[in-house]
Amino acid sequence: MKPKNISDFVSLSEISNNNSDLLLKSTKMNLDKNSYESSIWKFSQNQWRELKQSSYWNFSAPKYSNNKKSFAFIKTPKSTEILDKLEKKKKLEKNKLIFRNRGKEKIVFETDDSIVNYLWSSNDEFIYVITKEWSSEYKKIENKTDHPLEIDKLPFRFDTTGVIYNKRFHIYKVKTSTGKSQKIIDGDKELFLSISSLLEIDSDMYFIASKHNQDGTMLEDQIIKFSDSQLTVINTGGMWSQLFSYQDNLYGVGLDKRFDWPSNISIFKINKRGISNKVSNFIDRGVVKTKVSDNKVYVLYEDSGKQSLLKTDFESFEILHDKELLTSDFCVDGEDIYALVSSFDKKDEVYLIRNDEDKKFSDFNNDFHNKVSTHNCVYERFETGKSQIDTWGILVDINKPTLLNIHGGPASQYGFGFFDEFQVFASSGFNVVACNPRGSSGRGHKFVRDVCGNKWGENDTYDVIKSFEMMIKKLGIKNKNYGIMGGSYGGFMTSWVISHYPKMFKSAVVERALLNWETMVGTSDIGIGFPEMYLLDDLKSNLNLYRKKSPITYANNIITPTLIIHSEKDYRCPIEQAEQLFSNLKRRGVSSSMIRFPDESHELSRSGKPEHRVQRFDSIINWHKKQLS
């Protein structure tokens, strides 16, 4: 797989079903137009067809109504811009919510700003629409990009979304028969900086909202009840990703205490007073998402490099699908489950899961796989003496150099799903090794917390080095030319390793890295909160700890030729982090180079402009080839 082949595969998401048909969104990169193209596909009468094809528009969020007779979707003007879309929009068409019934379509809602999501009412008479709009005072400003911004609260910007201070989220109630709309939640009045996971229970509505705390130093998540035109905050202080209803009770997916992170994302029952109680620990794994069907809760969860499915009534549970695969989304139809699944060497397809057996149900990526060769892996859970570490390796040739890849997070995981980076590096002639060290998700509460405090940079480094050495031995690799690379936390670990093991690797790529805890506190969008969660102390109380756990402290030890890649609009690990390391290496004469991508965020490698993603790949491959040949 070559870098430019990223435009040949299709990514699938947002699957929905009625009694006989399926809807989903497909997304593909267009290198010629340097854009992403999102279409809606429908399975009906035993065949797939592209119902809404991306051209000047992108289509998303297809959802069947509750009676399954109609569905809706969002229609968005196509843009090549990844960041600050609202600031850059000039005389573009409106964003639209489309209602479709018996093949006929009509616009039921449109806005100059963003449609974030929507929910069908229980009787399908209304659709509740979440929007993201300029704040009321900012709408009046004609040249918004050139206007100074007065800031008196933190945070004021977030990675990928840009400045949040001048945006507000609202909810509109739209009558499906007439398109008449009414704003029922006024984000300007309530100061809502986000709204998500809208839910209707009987005649009441619940949602998750975020706003600045009273001191203006951090965002706080609130679970809010909307009843009889009144808003009531029933829960605050947590970190929530989803609400759902089961047996007329309210449940939340997340953490009931924000500073419990890192931990398993879990399910909590939330009573009428907003008191949350964790559902009995039916599985020590992190929850990705839930869906309710036929009086059962279906749970997608992370487990040792997989994303698997179970169903539960919270008294007992049954694992439905637990194979060396990655399920990204699913929908339930009686005893059948339609899931979006990828494997290590095969990109997304729809699978029919029945009685723990799965059958491929689509061929969206057949053309890609007929055109492009991909590599499978060797997997092993290594016993390192201090831990058991899931490790993956791609053997190209025992006499070729090897790249060690380290994931971000650290509370995330590599695994059995298709990952374009591993495929591109292997096709470029490198053996590939990757692992999930302590601190990764998918292995339970204790495992994900085993890098906190003084363990940061200790337990994880041991696991990364030891599992790498063991996989090298298992694959029988003879070539001793090793490269190391990673982004975000992986960038931290890469720079940490080459400063503590300066002779082990002959090439390094440090990407969007956390390099200096001390400065990150003041410059990162999560600088207040995240450091304390992992270091278990604050900067004011323990400056020495923050310096001790920062790779920049040990940068003078680095002799490995190092490429630094960073995005200009990375607000998660701001570019000043990269500049500190680059300055150190250059002053000392270490072979090094820095690539800065304009108008990109922390998510460059996952959702950056397609052209930039190809350029990033080329830069990494060329650097490693130069150093390791």
Spatial distance between the Cα atoms of 158 and 146, rounded to a whole number of angstroms: 19
3-state class of 412 per DSSP?
coil
Please name the residue that has the structure tokens 């190209």: 396
Tokens of 556: 């003078």
Q: Residue 280: its pLDDT value, please?
A: 80
What's residue 162's pLDDT? 84
Residues of the chain with pLDDT under 70: 79-92, 281
Share of the chain above pLDDT 90, in %: 93
283-312 exposure pattern, b = at least 16 Cβ within 10 A, e = fewer: bebbbbbbbeeeebbbbbbbbbbbbbbbbb
Instruction: Give this prediction's pTM.
Output: 0.95
State both tokens at 405.
């890849």
- Tens-place pLDDT, residues 337-388: 999 999 999 999 999 999 879 999 999 999 999 999 999 999 999 999 999 9
Q: Tokens in use for 510?
A: 């440090």
Q: Residue 367 has which token pair? A: 């053309």
Among residues 246, 339, 248, 250, the alpha carbon closest in space to that of 288 is found at 339
- In this structure, the strands spanning 35-44 and 357-360 are unpaired
Residues 206 and 185: their CA atoms lie apart, in Å, by 12
What pLDDT is recorded for position 91? 53
| Phi–psi pair at 257, nearest 5 degrees | -130, 120
Q: Which domains does the chain have, with CATH numbers?
A: 375-628 (3.40.50.1820)
Closest CA to 347 of 46, 5, 582: 5
Instruction: Tokens for 516, please give them.
Output: 């200096």
- How many CB atoms within 10 Å of residue 262? 23
Give the model's pLDDT for residue 93.
82
CA distances from 412 to 397, 440, 485, 505 (A): 29, 5, 16, 24
User: Whole-angstrom Cα distance, residue 471 to residue 556?
Assistant: 30
Q: What digits encode the pLDDT tens for the residues 252-263?
A: 999 999 999 999
pLDDT of 449: 98
Give residue-wise pLDDT tens across range 203-252: 999 999 999 999 999 999 999 999 999 999 999 999 999 999 999 999 99
Report the pLDDT value the prediction gives residue 144, as an integer from 0 to 100. 86
Q: Hey, what's the torsion of the CAs at 32, 347, 320, 271, to 10 degrees?
A: -30
pLDDT value of residue 62: 98
Q: How many CB atoms lie within 10 A of CB 356?
A: 12
Give the span between the Cα atoms of 403 and 327, in whole angstroms: 27
Looking at residue 522, its pLDDT comes to: 95
pLDDT of residue 27: 98
